[in-house]
Structure formats: structure tokens, C-alpha cells
Amino acid sequence: MFNRTTVTEFLLLAFSDVRELQSLHFVVFLMIYLAGLLGNLLIIIAKAFDHDLHTPLYFFLVNQAILDLGSISVTIPKPMVNSLMNTRVISYSGCVTQVFLFMFLGSADLGVLTIMAYDRYVAICQPLQYERVMNRRVCIQMAASAWISGILYSALHTGNTFVISFCGGNRVDQFFCHIPQLLKLACSDTDLNESGVIAFSACLVLSCFVLIIVSYVQIFKTVLRIPSEQGRHKAFSTCLPHITVVSLFIFSGIFAYLKSNSSSTSRLDLVVDVFYSVVPPVMNPIIYSMRNKEIKAALRKLIRQRLFMINKMFIFLL
């Protein structure tokens, strides 16, 4: 009992031991990271500078963009540095921080997605009450509740994970610190801990998923009663990006967590982990920008303004 080795660092899963491939992985992750940063920053900047986007929907969208920025900043930079420096090490404190932030940002993101479904429900099913129901104070309270709930949820799971002792080695079969993989390194039987984590997470996801489904059932009932085809199409078009983002977030997460119970690790598992943790935050701004005319108009206006200012500065310098 007293001969357990204290773990001071963990070894993350490497994408490759070949130096050339490590450099390739660094470049690929750098491009993905920059794409995620640019996409989410454009959403935030467009909302800040375009007064037409100062509505509850885009307020919550900015919250999601901030959470997505944090999410990719938690998972991607460390494997990039490891690939560049030809190392796999992450400190114990760094691993704790990574677990906490990843769980916090993911759970808060799910909360914001649920709130956005409710926002669409009020906008389509109760349009006359929308400004009263979704006023500024209520929106701030809803967003704050998602962030605070995410912090509490993450603190619970992070504390439950790192209160145990690790004596099964320090090799994490994941490219970032992930609770299911860390529990496999525990000294004692962690089946109860792992089952508790999965059960509690499943309850959270299921409750949010049910609220989203109920909201959209009511939305579809209301939309189908709209007499004009143009009106129905407009109503559906405001919901489609959100439905796509929710589906990508929930189903990729469920698949990744179910896969985490596997005792073996393959390259396919690594691809699944990358897809689950990296792709949604990078794809979300693309999905919203492609399907939302107001965001596209705001981005075009923003780009034209920046180009105009650059041209004026260039002419002035000449």
C-alpha cells in the first residue's frame, strides 16, 4: 500500500515515432488550430461590430465561439509542441488543468447549445413574447448558468479522477489527458468510478438532448402550420445550423466515450479522438457561416471595411 510510486508526469500517445511524420503532424495541427481560431474569432468580431447581430441568438453564438476557442486551445497546442520537440511528456499539474478545462468547456458548450434551442423555440413558437422572454437580463443569466454549471461539473469529475492513486504506469492512451484513459492507470479497481463518470455524463447529455428534442418538436409543429412555403423555409433555415452543430457535438462525443471503454488502442481510435475533440470547435463557425445569411452579410461587411482601411493607409503612405 505504501510502495506506490508517485506520478509526477504522464506520457501522451504519440501520433508517430518517425521525425518526418511528427513534423507533418505539427503542420496539420497548426493549420487546423489556425482555422479554428480564425473562424471563431470572425464570429466574435462580426457580432461586436455589426449592430444587426445584437440579438439573443448571436449573443449565445458568441458564447459558443468563445468556448470553442478555449476547447481547441486546450487540446491542440500540447500535441503540436510535443511533435515539434519530439517528446510525449505532460506534467501532472498540466494534466489536471487540461482535464478540468476540457470538461468545463465541453459541458458549458452543451449548456449553451440547449439554451440556443430554447431561444429558437421562443422565437418561432412565441414570436410576440420573444423580446419580453429573451430580454438582456435573462440571456446573461442563462449564459452564466451554463458557464457556472460547467465549472461545477468539471470540478466534480476532475476531483473524482485525481483523488485516486496511479500505479498502472503513466502512459495515457490518448493525445491529451482524458478521464477514461487516466482511470485505467489507477491502483485500485475504478469500475465504479468510471461507471459513475459515464452514468453522470450520460444523464447530463440525455437531459440536454431531451430538452433540445422537445424544443424542436414544438418548433416543427409550429412551422408546419405556417401557410406559406417561403415562411416555412425561412423558419427551418434558422434552425438547421443549430441542429447540425448539436448532432455533431453529441453523437461524436457519445461515440468517443463508448469507444474509450475498449482496452486496446488503434490508429482508428486516435482518429476518432481527434474528430471528437477537434473537429466540432473548428467546424461550428463554418456551419453557422454557410447557413446563416446575416452572419455572411456581417462578415462581408467587415472584410470590406478592413480592406477599405488598408487601402486608405496604403494610399496615405504613398
The mean pLDDT of 156-184, rounded to a whole number, is: 81
pLDDT computed for residue 4 by the predictor = 47
Total number of domains constituting the chain: 1
CA distance 56 to 7: 46
Q: How confident is the model at residue 289 (pLDDT cuts 50, 70, 90)?
A: confident
- pLDDT tens by residue, 192-203: 666 666 677 778
- Per-residue model confidence (pLDDT) at position 313: 60
Name 10's bridge partners.
90
Confidence of residue 295 (pLDDT cuts 50, 70, 90): confident
In a domain, 2, yes or no: no
For the cut 50, the answer to whether the pLDDT of residue 10 exceeds it is yes
Task: Examine residue 4 and state whether it is found in any structural domain, yes or no.
Answer: no
Q: How far is CA 11 from CA 65, 177, 213, 263, in A?
A: 30, 9, 40, 17
In this structure, is residue 3 part of a structural domain? no
Instruction: Say if residue 5's pLDDT is above 70.
Output: no
Kindly report the pTM of this predicted structure.
Answer: 0.86
* pLDDT interval class at 187 (50, 70, 90): confident
Domain of 33, in residue numbers:
9-317
Report d(CA 83, CA 94) in Å as an integer.
17
At residue 159, the pLDDT reads 86
| Amino acid 294: pLDDT | 72
> Is residue 288 one of the residues assigned to a domain?
yes
- pLDDT given for residue 83 in this prediction: 84
Q: Strands, DSSP E only, in the chain? A: 9-11, 89-91
- Please report, rounded to a whole number, the percentage of residues in the chain having pLDDT higher than 70: 84
Q: What is the pLDDT of residues 47-63, one digit of tens each?
A: 887 777 788 888 999 99
Percentage of the chain modeled with pLDDT above 90: 25
Max avg pLDDT among 30-39, 168-177, 285-294: 30-39
For 163, other C-beta atoms within 10 Å of its C-beta total: 8
Give me the mean pLDDT over the 251-264 stretch. 66
pLDDT digits (tens, 9 = 90+) for 89-131: 888 899 999 999 999 999 999 999 999 999 999 999 888 899 8
In this structure, of 164-173, 230-239, 244-253, 304-313, the range with the lowest mean pLDDT score is 304-313
Q: Is residue 307 part of a domain?
A: yes
pLDDT at 269: 66
Q: How far is CA 228 from the centre of its chain?
A: 36
* Inside any domain, residue 1: no
> What is the rounded CA–CA span in Å between residue 70 and residue 272?
20
**CATH code for position 60:** 1.20.1070.10
